[in-house]
Chains A and B, each alone.
Chain A
Amino acid sequence: MASTTLDFRRGAASGRAAFLARQGANWVFLLPTLIFFIGWQVYPIFRVLWMSLTDYHFLRNQPAAWVGFRNYANALADPILLTGLLRAATFTALFLPGMIFVPMLLAILVDRVRQPTLAATYRLILLIPAVIPGPLIFVLWKWLYNFNIGPIDYFLVQVGIVTPQTAPQWLGDPKLTLPAIALMEVWWGLGYHTMFYLAGLAAIPKELSEAARVDGANEWRLFWHVTLPRLRPILLVLVVLRFGTAMAVIDEYLILGGFNRALPTYTWTVYMWDLAFQIGDWFQGYAAAIGWIGAAAMLVVVGGLFWVFRSRD
């Protein structure tokens, strides 16, 4: 009996050891990801949070002092930040519809091409802009939009719509700048976004559309009642992801608009960069507060988007 109890205890102990060993092995495998996640994501986020609560100036050789929420209060009363957020929201409103509907339409058309070589060719052509590096795209479009030597204005002058003096200043006129950049972005992402929709369309069972046709549905009703509801998860992914990137655009603005505050490209992200790395003593505490305010504003909208695109099954 005593021997049996001992064996049982020994068995339990060896079971625990095996369990711990298994757990330990799991943690070893998780470690690289954890290091990356904590070092690359968690630490910077909390570091920026800490900075936003101090008067941290990068060029100063003095310790940062705790200022509580003063940076946030000042930033919320800062007209440049509020204008910057409004400009970013305007760009997002211009960009998102083109990003949603044009690729969707294109995907539906390409999806109907049955000839395999032709279908592959369409997909390939659509994907070409997506594989060109961003800065190259921006420089290319900057040339296309150039007032003096750009082919768009040259064409408009040649066909007599405008004169060299009255040609549109695509990147200089505040009214044209954001639509011009949104057009570029839609072109750049066209193939990439179309692929998302094509993947979604491929997942829709063909029987559904065949059954709808048998029931007398026309193309419009087919799209509205069969295709669109089934594409809703893809829409959610695209809208949420691209909303985030559109609100936080900075590379395009720096390349196409620089630091000219009169242009609508001077948004909250450029302002944050300007404060953190260019102006005065590089007031990064204030810039960090601006970053958090921008992030919070975006997260509120994302919450709304999740609600709009919630499952209705």
Chain B
Amino acid sequence: MTRRQLVGRALGVGLSLPVFGGLLAACSAAALTEATEVEAATPPAQAASTRPLTPTFYQWIVDLHPSLPLVNANFQNTTPLNFQIAPVQGFGIDRFVAEARDKSSTWDVYVGMTPFVEMSALIEADVIEPWDNYIPKEILNDIIPSIRNECTVNGQLYSWPFLLDIITMGWNKGQSDQAGITDMPTTWDQLVADGKQIMTSNTAPYGVVFDAHGWRSLAPITHSISTNVYTPDLFFDFNSDPALQALDIMKQMLAVSAPNVLNTGTTDAGVNNTPDEDAFAAQQATYFVKYQNAPLRFAATWPDPSQLQLGPLPKAVGGEGATVFWTTGACLFKYGQNKDKAAEYMKSLTYNDGIWKDSISGTPTSHPGQIPPYQSYYDKWSVNQPTWWQSWVPLILDQLKVAKAIPNQKFGLSQFQIGQSEWEKYLKGEESDPKVAMRAAWDAVQAEAKKSA
């Protein structure tokens, strides 16, 4: 072989590496098991424990809740614990699924599951099992009914709820006062008008910012008009009148918003750390539509965080006045171990007063702004209000009464990712007819569903 041939062949192999690297990525998880191993074996009711309880957390929960190490330390006083961070960037559950296909699990419980995002896939892939055999009845009954409903599939609780998020509205009172706005906007028309006033009075560069991801904007705005926007197979009906009306509201909001508000975020494959957060934190925008902990976290960076106000999501005239909520909770790995211990751990975590104090009142390092999923906490606090109580807590609770979760199904989250590029054509002016844009979004989602069918 000549030197030229050697170089040529080496180049051929070298070129193939990145390509086949990609292919390998697509098959690596699959390679863990044979496709023909199909029978979902009944797992042992309680596998023998060969290790300490091994919970794994989504990184953001650890970042936002500084009290977590204290909970772990207390639990470790009685039970061995091997606390870990989960390999789930961008909601990736591939590792969990691959292990379950091999009928094993490195971890016992995963804290970070959002029901509408990944719960259906984890159930279908036989990765998780219900908590019903392990969660004490009094705790099950303590879960707020709408949250319990969100976490339940076929009558069984698959997610032990922990942190509650609801899409609400926050605003910078210092700026709204400066612009001469005295009342909280209660309708979308009012919000857009107030946003214009902020900009025309040169109080701030932008009036309103929102998160462009559909489950954080299109769906909640639609719910404020009607929650009856899901098809029998639980897809979001992009062609429904409320969805079309919501898209139009978004277009009006975009006119008084930051020009980059439709851009992707900087973490979690674009899902988090989105441009609306930068604008609100930098006091470049006055009104902010997002889950309640976002304005709380970003107002904490202002010179005067007390200027933050929180209010319910504006309504459409004659609309239902609902919004979207979701919880982030824990799932129990079917092939994990220590299942009773996992339930004890979840009890100690979710009934920890320190966690809720820090979450509601904030700490020097963070302000998670998430509230408990249990009714008993609110009953207790209504009788004996703690000193660290925050006035926005009842507001969130009131919103929960009217909020609706996005239904659990395999396209719960991805339907909004798939359709976004289509409905945004109307927002960007590339398509003049909202019906055409939403039809295209619907078709794109259905095309993916058909591929998977």
Chain A residues near B (Cβ < 8 Å): 41, 43-45, 47-48, 51, 54, 56-64, 74, 139, 142-143, 146-149, 164-166, 169, 171-172, 233, 236-237, 240-241, 243-245, 247-248, 250, 254-255, 257-263, 266, 269, 272-273, 275-284, 286-288, 291-292, 294-295, 298-299, 302, 306, 311
Known: A57-B452, A279-B418. A63 touches B36 (CB 8 A): yes
Q: Which of B121, B266, B418 contacts A59 (CB 8 A)?
A: B121
Known pairs A148-B278, A248-B21; A295 contacts B260 (CB<8 A): no
Complex CA–CA separation, A73 to B448 (angstroms): 16
Residue from B8, B30, B269, B421 whose CB has the most chain A CB atoms within 10 Å: B30
A contact residues around B414 at 8 Å (CB): 278-280
B398 CB → nearest A CB, Å:
33
Could you say which of B4, B270, B271 contacts A257, with CB atoms under 8 Å apart?
A: B270
Nearest Cβ in chain B — how far from A170, in angstroms? 10
Minimum CB–CB distance from A250 to chain B (whole Å) comes to 7
A262 CA to B205 CA, complexed, in Å = 26
Contacts of A284 in B (CB 8 A): 26-27, 30
| Contact yes or no, A302 B12, CB < 8 A | yes
Per the bound structure, the CA–CA distance linking A18 and B15 in Å amounts to: 40
Chain A residues with Cβ below 8 Å from B14 are 240-241, 244
A sample of 17 inter-chain contacts (CB < 8 A) reads A44-B27, A48-B27, A63-B38, A147-B259, A148-B279, A241-B14, A244-B16, A258-B269, A260-B421, A275-B451, A276-B25, A276-B26, A280-B410, A280-B411, A284-B30, A291-B19, A295-B23
Residues B73-103 near A (CB distance < 8 A):
90, 92, 94, 97, 101
Total cross-chain contacts (CB, 8 A)? 201
* Given known contacts A171-B263, A302-B15, A306-B8, A59 and B20 CB-to-CB distance under 8 angstroms: no
Is B424 among interface residues, defined by CB-CB distance under 8 A? yes
Report how far A245 CA is from B28 CA in the complex, Å: 20
Contact call A47/B31, Cβ cutoff below 8 A: yes
* Other-chain contact of B97, A56, A58, A260, A275 (Cβ < 8 Å): A58
Collect the chain B residues with CB atoms within 8 Å of residue A273's CB.
22, 25-26
Chain B nearest Cβ from A290, distance in angstroms = 9
User: By CB atoms of chain A within 10 A, which of B270, B271, B279 has the most?
Assistant: B270
Q: Is there an interface contact between B263 and A172, defined as CB atoms closer than 8 Å?
A: yes
Considering the complex, give the chain B residue whose CB is closest to the CB of A313. B4
B45 an interface residue at 8 Å Cβ cutoff?
no
Q: How far, in angstroms, from A299 to B18 measured CA to CA in the complex?
A: 12
Cβ–Cβ contact B448 & A280, under 8 A: yes
> What is the CB-to-nearest-CB distance from B125 to chain A, in angstroms, rounded to a whole number?
4
- Is there a chain A Cβ closer than 8 Å to B262's Cβ? yes
CA distance A139 to B23 in the complex (A): 25
Query: Which A residues are CB-close (under 8 A) to B12?
Result: 302
Q: Which residue of A lies closest to B273 (CB)?
A: A142
Q: Is B282 an interface residue (CB 8 A)?
A: yes
B27 near A51 (CB under 8 angstroms)? yes
Q: Find A260's partner among B18, B21, B22, B270 (CB 8 Å cutoff).
A: B270
User: With A61-B38, A280-B448 in contact, is A41–B20 under 8 Å at CB?
Assistant: yes
A62, B38: Cβ atoms closer than 8 Å: yes
Q: Is B309 an interface residue (CB 8 A)?
A: no
On chain A, the residues within 8 Å of B451 by CB distance are 74, 275, 279-280, 283, 286
- A169 close to B35 (CB less than 8 A): no
Q: Are B22 and A272 in contact (CB under 8 A)?
A: yes
B368 at the interface (CB under 8 A from A): no
Q: Once the chains bind, are B20 and A149 in contact (CB under 8 Å)?
A: no
Report, as a range, how many residues of chain B touch the other chain. 35 or more
For the complex, what is the distance from the CA of A167 to the CA of B27, rounded to whole Å? 42
Q: Of the candidates B16, B36, B263, which one forms a contact with A295 in the assembled complex, judged by CB atoms under 8 Å apart? A: B16
* B298 to A: closest C-beta gap in Å: 12
In the complex, residue of chain B having the shortest beta-carbon distance to the beta carbon of A246: B18
Q: 1/0 per residue B61-74: CB within 8 Å of A?
A: 00000000000000
Chain B 419-443 near chain A by CB (<8 Å), digits 1 or 0: 0110011000000000000000000
Q: Which residues of B contact A288 (CB under 8 A)?
A: 23, 26-27
Given contacts A63-B35, A244-B15, A262-B420, contact A281 B24 (CB under 8 A): no
Cβ B20 vs Cβ A260 within 8 A: no
Q: Does B361 sit at the interface, judged by CB under 8 A?
A: no
Q: Are A244 and B18 in contact (CB under 8 A)?
A: yes
A148/B284 in contact, CB under 8 A: yes
Complex Cα distance A266/B263, Å? 14
Q: Which of A139, A143, A148 contacts B258 (CB 8 A)?
A: A148
Closest to B453 in A: A280
Query: Known contacts A48-B26, A279-B414; is A142 also within 8 Å of B266 by CB?
Result: yes
| B264 adjacent to A258 (CB under 8 Å) | yes
Cβ of B411: which chain A residues have Cβ within 8 Å of it?
279-280
Closest B residue, CB atoms, query A248: B18
B265 in the interface, Cβ–Cβ < 8 Å? yes
Pick the residue among B17, B26, B258, B452 that contacts A279 (CB under 8 A): B452
B7 adjacent to chain A (CB < 8 Å): yes
Nearest opposing residue in chain A for B448, CB measure = A279
- Measured between alpha carbons, how far is A93 from B37 in the docked complex, in Å? 45
Cβ of B116 to closest chain A Cβ, rounded Å: 14
Asked if A259 meets B27 with Cβ closer than 8 Å, knowing A63-B36, A244-B18, A245-B18, the reply is no
Complex: how many Å from CA A266 to CA B417? 12
